[in-house]
């Protein structure tokens, strides 16, 4: 019996290790192409061992001006996080404390907004943006991401705020805090883990956004995913360069995953798993 | 205003954002779905003509079929594979953190970048998979020129990228089960299969429904990764509803028809989501 169990555990480790390799292999492959010179990249058979070069990154970022798209991505992402997360936190708090059937249903229904097909939104965004002169600007992208992020962020913050006891509010009231002071002095500090988690998810949503940026931006506000998706489709002789681009866009996400994994897991499970 | 209702003021900014930037545009799109409106021309009211024309377009029906088949296959695959991985992770004690970082990573990376990488891996001649094939003496097919292989590859990429979502949720669910319940079932004479079926799975019912709901929503309206990988080809064999809609709206500039396709996508998607949400509510009550 004991032997059987040890065997089972050993097999689990081996299986998980293989799965982990399968999961990261495409990224490792992209990294290898991105750090090869074209001769190595196009050699047959595949060269597993080669002298790595960072020339591609230098060319892509400095000569090909990808820093411009990075700047756009940073502006859109940072603004989206700064606007979206406070809105969602307040909304989740207000709806939870309102404690009526209406606000409960509103919270429950939040996830339903996720089913809106992006194309159904993209067409009116395109028409309205053109009409109001907002096409190819940061403002329209930020607005869209802030709103599109609300349902998930509210759902997530609700998962965290459910754990904040109502007595805390009442204690604050007795100490003479008004509603706004209660939120800023009492609720915000205790929900900081939730706010960090919501911020990371908003960052990822905004950073990875593709369709709206593809439709609504051209020259001035194009973001990294669109630039890289299109650059890769060009001539194959740019292969190593676009691989460097793919690696660059994936690196920040890898860093988030390595250092903030706890928050990512908590964020996905906060609203779902009780206790 | 009563004191209690003042809490609603906190939700007002967010509510306004949702109404102005999500509900209003959807209303706008529904309105234009009844108009013959090509970009640049004047819009004229045509009633249900757009919808009738779409249903007559074999490419629309093909896209509905592909999106549906794609969604069913990937969601079931993600659930089964995800459950398997979660159970394996529940077995081990050491190295959980590094292993889970590696296993979860694909879920969080940019889908467009993932699409580009998969296109390279299966590129004829130079792609790593084609090279490995020739290494073991197999002639690899021209992956993206074959409709069947292209479909297999977009499924593979979707399963690769989004299975971690199921793993994360199910693993958290397994971890939150109390040891006592499992032990109690064992004392009652339950075999491992019965423990799995009646204790573990039964207690994760609402999580399983949540996974199905979220994954159905996302995979049915998938655009970015497939657009970058195959752009719907070859011969529209991997054309999802979203890519079909993009072509209608932004290549052919038939805005009215594009809106109608969007409305139909929403209606089709609302059916399974409605039942899953209902199921989740009753599972939560238990």
Residues of A in contact with B10 (CB under 8 A): 90-91, 93-95, 97, 183
Q: Would you state the pLDDT for residue A111?
A: 78
- H runs (alpha helix) in A132-238: 138-161, 166-174, 179-181, 188-190, 192-208, 211-216, 224-231
List chain B residues with CB under 8 Å of A20: 99, 102-103
Confidence (pLDDT) at A274: 47
Cα B154 to Cα B144: distance, rounded to the nearest angstrom: 10
Chain B touched by A27 (CB under 8 Å): yes
DSSP structural state of residue B254: B
Cβ within 8 Å of residue B268, ≥6 positions away: B64, B68, B220
CB contact under 8 A, A124 and B10: no
**What crossing angle do the helices spanning B96-108 and A2-34 adopt, rounded to 10°?**
50
Average per-residue pLDDT in chain A?
88
d(CA A242, CA A30): 9
What is the average per-residue pLDDT within B65-83? Answer: 97
For residue B1, what pLDDT is reported? 61
What percent of chain B clears pLDDT 70, i.e. is strictly above it?
99
Q: For residue A169, what are the CA distances in angstroms to A100, B3, B37, B103, B193?
A: 18, 14, 54, 41, 47
CA dihedral B72, B75, B77, B79 (to 10 degrees): -140
When CB atoms are compared, the residue of B32, B112, B241 closest to A229 is B112
In chain B, what is the straight-line distance between the N-terminal and C-terminal CA atoms, in Å? 37
Cα–Cα distances in Å, from A63 out to A222, B51, B103?
A: 17, 49, 35
Q: What is the mean pLDDT of residues A233-241?
A: 76
Q: What is the DSSP letter of A222?
A: -
Taken in order B184, B186, B188, B190, the sign of the CA dihedral is positive
Interchain contact, B28 vs A243, CB within 8 Å:
no
Please say if the pLDDT value at position B225 is more than 70.
Answer: yes
What was the ipTM of the complex prediction?
Answer: 0.90
Asked if B144 and B119 count as a contact pair (C-beta separation under 8 A), the reply is yes
Nearest residue to A95 (alpha-carbon basis) of B6, B277, B282: B6
Provide, as residue numbers in chain B, all residues whose Cβ is less than 8 Å from the Cβ of A120: 26, 29, 259, 262-263, 265-266
Q: Show which of residues 193-222 on chain A sit within 8 Å of chain B, judged by CB atoms.
A: 204, 207-208, 210-211, 215
Core vs surface per residue B187-223: b (16+ CB within 10 A) or e: eeebeeeebbeebbeebbbbbbbbbbbbbbbbbbbbb
pLDDT, tens digit, 9 for 90 and up, residues A156-210: 898 888 888 888 888 888 888 888 888 888 888 888 889 999 999 999 999 999 9
Alpha-carbon gap: B267 to the closest alpha carbon of chain A (Å): 10
8 Å CB contact between B240 and B226: yes
A123:B29 CB<8 A:
yes
Q: How far apart are CA B39 and CA B17, in angstroms?
A: 27
Burial classification of residue B147, based on how many CB atoms lie within 10 Å of its CB (0-12 exposed, 13-18 middle, 19 or more buried): middle
Q: What is the mean pLDDT of residues A104-132?
A: 87
Query: What band does A233 get if pLDDT is binned at 50, 70 and 90?
Result: low
What is the number of other CB atoms lying within 10 angstroms of the CB of residue B101? Answer: 18
Q: Which letter, b or e, does each residue of B102-111 get, where b requires 16 or more Cβ atoms within 10 Å of its Cβ? A: bbbbbbbbbb
Nearest CA in chain A to B28: A124
What's the mean pLDDT in A46-62? Answer: 87
At A242-261, the pLDDT tens digits run 899 999 999 999 999 999 98
Superfamily of domain B23-285: MetI-like (1.10.3720.10)
Give the residue from chain A lying closest to B82, CA to CA: A19
As to burial, measured by CB atoms within 10 angstroms (0-12 exposed, 13-18 middle, 19+ buried), residue B229 is: buried
Global confidence as pTM? 0.91
Q: Tell me the backbone φ, ψ of residue B197, rounded to 5 degrees.
A: -75, -45
- For the four alpha carbons of B53, B56, B58 and B61, in that order, the dihedral sign comes to positive
Q: Which of residues 159-178 of A touch B (CB under 8 A)?
A: none
The predicted model gives B36-57 an average pLDDT of 90
Query: What number is the average pLDDT over the span A22-34?
Result: 94
pLDDT computed for residue A112 by the predictor:
80
pLDDT tens sequence across A58-81 = 988 888 888 999 999 999 999 999
Question: In the block, which residue shows the tokens 């395109």?
Answer: A126
Mean pLDDT (chain B, rounded): 91
Q: pLDDT tier at A273 (50, 70, 90 boundaries)?
A: low
Instruction: Quote the tokens at residue B228.
Output: 């970058």
Residues B233-281 have pLDDT tens digits of 898 999 999 999 999 999 999 999 999 999 999 999 999 999 998 888 8
| pLDDT for position A98 | 86
Confidence class for position A272, pLDDT limits 50, 70, 90? low
For residue B45, the cross-strand partners are B35
For A17, the closest chain B residue by CA position comes to: B99
Q: Which residues of B touch A233 (CB under 8 A)?
A: 228
Under an 8 A CB cutoff, do B259 and A120 touch? yes
- Hey, what domains does chain A have and what are their CATH numbers? 65-274 (1.10.3720.10)
B225/B160 Cα distance (integer angstroms)? 12
SS (H, E, C) A77-118: HHHHHHHHHHHHHHHHHHHHHHCCHHHHHHHHHHHHHHHCCH
Closest CB to B113 among A16, A148, A225: A225
Report the pLDDT averaged over residues B102-127.
92
Q: What does the pLDDT average to over A71-96?
A: 94
Of A21, A91, A204, the CB nearest to B11: A91
Q: Determine the Cα–Cα distance for residues B267 and B249; give it in Å rounded to an integer.
A: 19
State mean pLDDT over B188-199.
85
Calculate the dihedral angle through the C-alpha atoms of B112, B113, B117, B120, rounding to the nearest 10 degrees. Answer: 70
pLDDT at B199: 85
Closest residue on chain A to B162 (Cα): A23
Beta bridge pairs of residue B38: B254
Query: B202 pLDDT band (50/70/90 cuts)?
Result: confident
Inspect the interface and report whether the beta carbons of B22 and A121 lie closer than 8 Å: yes
Collect all residues with Cβ–Cβ distance below 8 Å to B162 and sequence separation of at least 6. B74, B78, B106, B107, B215, B218, B219
Per-residue pLDDT band for B124 (boundaries 50, 70, 90) equals confident
All structural domains of chain B with their residue ranges: 23-285
């Amino acid at each position: 019996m004991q032997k059987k169990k040890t065997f089972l555990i050993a097999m689990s480790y081996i299986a998980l290790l293989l799965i982990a390799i399968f999961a990261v292999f495409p990224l490792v492959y992209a990294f290898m192409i991105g750090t090869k010179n074209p001769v190595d990249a196009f050699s047959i058979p595949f060269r597993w061992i080669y002298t790595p070069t960072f020339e591609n990154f230098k060319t892509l970022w400095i000569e090909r001006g990808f820093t411009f798209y990075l700047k756009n991505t940073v502006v859109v992402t940072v603004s989206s996080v700064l606007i979206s997360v406070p809105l969602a936190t307040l909304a989740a708090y207000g709806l939870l404390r309102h404690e009526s059937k209406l606000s409960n249903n509103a919270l429950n229904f939040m996830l339903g907004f996720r089913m809106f097909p992006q194309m159904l939104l993209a067409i009116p965004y395109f028409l309205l943006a053109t009409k109001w002169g907002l096409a190819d600007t940061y403002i329209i992208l930020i607005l869209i991401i802030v709103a599109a992020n609300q349902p998930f962020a509210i759902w997530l913050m609700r998962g965290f705020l459910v754990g904040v006891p109502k007595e805390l509010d009442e204690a604050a009231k007795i100490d003479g805090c008004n509603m706004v002071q209660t939120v800023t002095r009492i609720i915000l500090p205790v929900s900081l883990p939730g706010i960090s988690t919501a911020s990371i998810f908003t960052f990822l949503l905004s950073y990875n956004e593709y369709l709206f940026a593809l439709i609504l931006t051209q020259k001035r506000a194009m973001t990294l995913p669109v630039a890289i998706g299109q650059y890769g489709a060009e001539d194959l002789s740019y292969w190593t360069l676009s691989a460097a681009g793919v690696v660059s866009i994936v690196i920040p996400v890898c860093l988030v995953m390595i250092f903030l994994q706890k928050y990512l897991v908590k964020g996905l499970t906060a609203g779902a798993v009780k206790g | 205003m009563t004191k209690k209702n003042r809490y609603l003021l906190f939700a007002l900014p967010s509510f306004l954002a949702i109404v102005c930037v999500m509900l209003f545009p959807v209303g706008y799109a529904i309105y234009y779905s009844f108009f013959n409106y090509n970009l640049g021309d004047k819009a004229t009211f045509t009633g249900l003509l757009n919808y009738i024309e779409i249903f007559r377009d074999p490419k629309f029906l093909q896209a509905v079929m592909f999106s549906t088949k794609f969604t069913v296959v990937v969601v079931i695959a993600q659930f089964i594979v995800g459950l398997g991985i979660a159970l394996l992770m529940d077995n081990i004690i050491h190295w959980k953190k590094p292993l889970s970082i590696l296993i979860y990573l694909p879920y969080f990376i940019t889908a467009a970048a993932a699409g580009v990488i998969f296109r390279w891996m299966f590129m004829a001649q130079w792609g790593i998979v084609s090279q490995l094939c020739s290494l073991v003496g197999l002639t690899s097919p021209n992956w993206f020129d074959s409709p069947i292989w292209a479909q297999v590859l977009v499924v593979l990429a979707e399963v690769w990228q989004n299975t971690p979502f199921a793993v994360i949720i199910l693993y958290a669910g397994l971890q939150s089960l109390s040891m006592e319940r499992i032990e109690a079932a064992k004392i009652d004479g339950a075999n491992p299969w019965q423990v799995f079926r009646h204790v573990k799975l039964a207690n994760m019912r609402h999580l399983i429904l949540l996974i199905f709901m979220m994954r159905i929503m996302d995979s049915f309206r998938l655009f970015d990764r497939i657009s970058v990988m195959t752009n719907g080809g070859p011969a529209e064999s991997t054309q999802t509803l979203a890519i079909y809609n993009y072509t209608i709206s932004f290549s052919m500039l038939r805005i009215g028809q594009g809106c109608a396709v969007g409305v139909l996508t929403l209606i089709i998607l609302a059916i399974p989501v409605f039942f899953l949400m209902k199921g989740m509510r009753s599972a939560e009550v238990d």
